[in-house]
Amino acid sequence: MNHDTEQKFVQQFSPEQFAALGVDEVAYVRPAVVEGKKVYAIHSADGNAIGMMAGRDLAFAAVKQHDMEPVSVH
C-alpha cells in the first residue's frame, strides 16, 4: 500500500474505529494524584482506565506482563 492509499484508508475510519486501534496492544501510563498520593494510571489505547500503580517502573512492568507495549503520557 502506498502512502496516498494508506492516507485515504485511515481517513475513512470513524472516531470509534480510530480509538480502537491498538486497544489490545498499547497501554498509556501517566502520572496522577489519588487521595493526595502520586500514582501512575494505566489506560488502554481507547482511554479506558485499566489500572494504577505506585511507581512508573511498576506500571510499565505490569503493562508488559499483559503482553502490551507501555507508552508514557505527560
Q: How far apart are CA 42 and CA 74, in angstroms?
A: 12
Residue spans per domain, the chain:
21-72
Give me the pLDDT at residue 7, please: 62
**Model confidence at 54: pLDDT above 70:** yes
How far from the centroid of its chain's Cα atoms is residue 32's Cα? Answer: 15
Helix, coil or strand: residue 30: strand
Task: Tell me the CA distances in angstroms from 62 to 1, 39, 42, 72, one per residue in order.
Answer: 35, 14, 9, 14
pTM: 0.70
**Higher pLDDT among residues 18 and 42, named by residue:** 42
Question: What percent of the chain has pLDDT above 70?
Answer: 72
